[in-house]
Amino acid sequence: MALSADEQMEFKVRVSNIFRPGTPINHQKLFAGRQSQVNDVLNATLQPGRHIVMFGERGVGKTSLARIISAVVSQSGHALLDCHTINCDGTDDFSSLFRKIFREISFVQGTKFQGFSQEQAAARVALDQILPDRTLQPDDVRYVLTRLGTPALIVIDEVDKLSDRGARRQLADTIKTLSDHAVPATLMLIGVADSVEELIAEHQSIERALVQVPMQRMSRAELMQIVSTGLNESGLTAEEGVESWTSRLSQGLPHYTHSLSLYAAFTAIQEGRTHIAVTDVLAATKTMVEKSHTLRTAYNNATGSPQQQSLYGQVLRACALADTDELGYFRASALTAPMTTIMRKKYDVPSFRRHLFEFCEVRRGPVLKRIGEPRSFKFRFVDPMMQPFVIVHDYSINALTNELLRKSRGRTAE
């Protein structure tokens, strides 16, 4: 029986609260996979003097893991003060960053009553109220955190946006002083790999105090678990193949899994169904492309040409399908196999070398980044979100077949 209008709205609200491409997951039951990373973070949090650096590409779920880790620690029976996540921005220096952090944390302070009574009143005081009226230094952070009396987990996200070199050096000094004094507070820094290397370079001795947690792209099994968990929580069902194709199209990034699942579910619900079909996934790719204005504009800029027979679209598709190393880099030779399949005839590097170099130029984005020396250049997408977008875009217009997507591993781990 078809869903009524009220039932459709109820399912849409439920699904929107489960598949959340725009915001990090903050409920543990909706968080899938990442058991190895959870264990690393948990071990560091429970050890005095240890701090965490989590790094990986944009969109791999770093912030979602940070959001749910407090619940994981609490279930271990370890008392923990959760101060939420603080985001760095380009205007922050060390002092402004920790003032933002300390206004989010409070502690209970006892106050004696006046007169003969020996009783005390408990008042909750924000840490920023006991800060000195001057620029903060690393030792100020140590002193204030010792006043808490409860272990704290302080999550500092987007460390790569902390452009002040002095702030990065002071952040490294803070890790060292907190570790040396075994202060019961854990700093969890989240960023990209380059920001981790810069942080350690500022103070080589802090490396022993850091647990480094790399966040690679998720495996297909983990992405399928996201879909499966969401379906169970929402009360929807899916045709065989929905979970598999959603995971393949997502290319290891949970953002795409959430988006495609959300739009596929909305397509089914709008048609009065609670059972999602594989054709709904195709419809979801069209919706996702339509709603991804920035990526769609970048894609059109990269592939646009007045010549109808140009190869820019096909070469970019081959880039998205190419096997890569763990950092997402590929060599020109990795495009030979996908280009040959796409074009249905043999294509060697000289046929598309020019296109790769043009993708690294400003007039086409740049959509690719190039490193290395001549004859050994390696390439990767400047924005990691663009690689699965190319897959989703080309699939939505039937330019990418199921066979080619299944044949090419790309960035998807089995």
User: Is the pLDDT assigned to residue 35 strictly greater than 90?
Assistant: no
User: pLDDT tens for residues 20-34?
Assistant: 886 665 555 556 667
Q: Which amino acid is at 240?
A: E
Of the candidates 136, 131, 142, 137, which has an alpha carbon nearest to the alpha carbon of residue 178?
A: 142
Q: Are 16 and 9 in contact (CB under 8 A)?
A: no
Domain borders along the chain are 34-104+135-215, 218-291, 294-407
How far apart are alpha carbons 363 and 378 in whole angstroms? 20
How far apart are alpha carbons 390 and 360 in whole angstroms? 16
DSSP state of 150: S
How far apart are alpha carbons 147 and 234 in whole angstroms? 44
User: Is the pLDDT assigned to residue 224 strictly greater than 70?
Assistant: yes
User: pLDDT tens for residues 357-396?
Assistant: 999 999 999 999 999 998 889 999 999 999 999 999 999 9
How far apart are alpha carbons 75 and 29 in whole angstroms? 13
User: pLDDT tens for residues 175-208?
Assistant: 999 999 989 888 989 887 666 677 777 677 788 8
Q: Are 286 and 266 in contact (CB under 8 A)?
A: no
State which CATH number among 3.50.50.60, 3.40.50.300, 3.30.565.10, 1.10.8.60 fits the domain covering 218-291: 1.10.8.60
DSSP state of 408: -
Q: Which amino acid is at 411?
A: R
Q: Tell me the HSE value of 10 on the side-chain side, using a 13 A CA sphere.
A: 10
Q: Assign 301 to helix, strand or coil.
A: helix
How far apart are alpha carbons 368 and 364 in whole angstroms? 9
Using CA of residue 304, residue 308, residue 312, residue 315, what is the dihedral sign?
positive
Q: What is the pLDDT of residue 178?
A: 93
Mean pLDDT of 115-122: 55
Q: Which amino acid is at 128?
A: D
Residue corresponding to tokens 């004859």: 375
Mean pLDDT of 2-31: 80
Highest mean pLDDT among 155-169, 216-230, 342-356: 342-356
Which helix (H) or strand (E) covers residue 177, if one does?
Answer: helix 165-180
Chain centroid to CA 93: 24
User: Is the pLDDT assigned to residue 120 strictly greater than 70?
Assistant: no
Same fold, 34-104+135-215 and 294-407: no
User: pLDDT tens for residues 260-313?
Assistant: 999 999 999 999 999 999 999 999 999 999 999 999 999 999 999 888 788 999
Of the candidates 52, 7, 61, which has an alpha carbon nearest to the alpha carbon of residue 30?
A: 61
Q: What is the pLDDT of residue 251?
A: 93
Calculate the average pLDDT of the chain: 86
How far apart are alpha carbons 135 and 140 in whole angstroms? 9
Mean pLDDT of 36-60: 83
DSSP state of 2: P
Q: What is the pLDDT of residue 28?
A: 57
How far apart are alpha carbons 82 and 154 in whole angstroms? 7
The architecture that CATH gives domain 34-104+135-215 is: 3-Layer(aba) Sandwich (3.40)
State which CATH number among 1.10.3720.10, 3.30.565.10, 3.40.50.970, 1.10.10.10 fits the domain covering 294-407: 1.10.10.10
User: Is the pLDDT assigned to residue 349 strictly greater than 80?
Assistant: yes
At residue 78 the predicted structure's pLDDT band, cuts being 50, 70 and 90, is low
What residue spans of 49-164 are helical by DSSP H? Answer: 62-75, 94-102, 138-146
Using CA of residue 272, residue 278, residue 280, residue 281, what is the dihedral sign?
positive
CA dist 290 → 181, 284, 396 (Å): 53, 10, 10
What backbone phi and psi angles, to 5 degrees, belong to 114? -70, 155
Q: Are 226 and 257 in contact (CB under 8 A)?
A: yes
How far apart are alpha carbons 207 and 311 in whole angstroms? 47
Token pair listed for 37: 């990373």
366 cis-preceded (ω within 30 degrees of 0) = yes
How far apart are alpha carbons 397 and 28 in whole angstroms? 36
User: Is the pLDDT assigned to residue 111 strictly greater than 80?
Assistant: no
DSSP state of 147: T
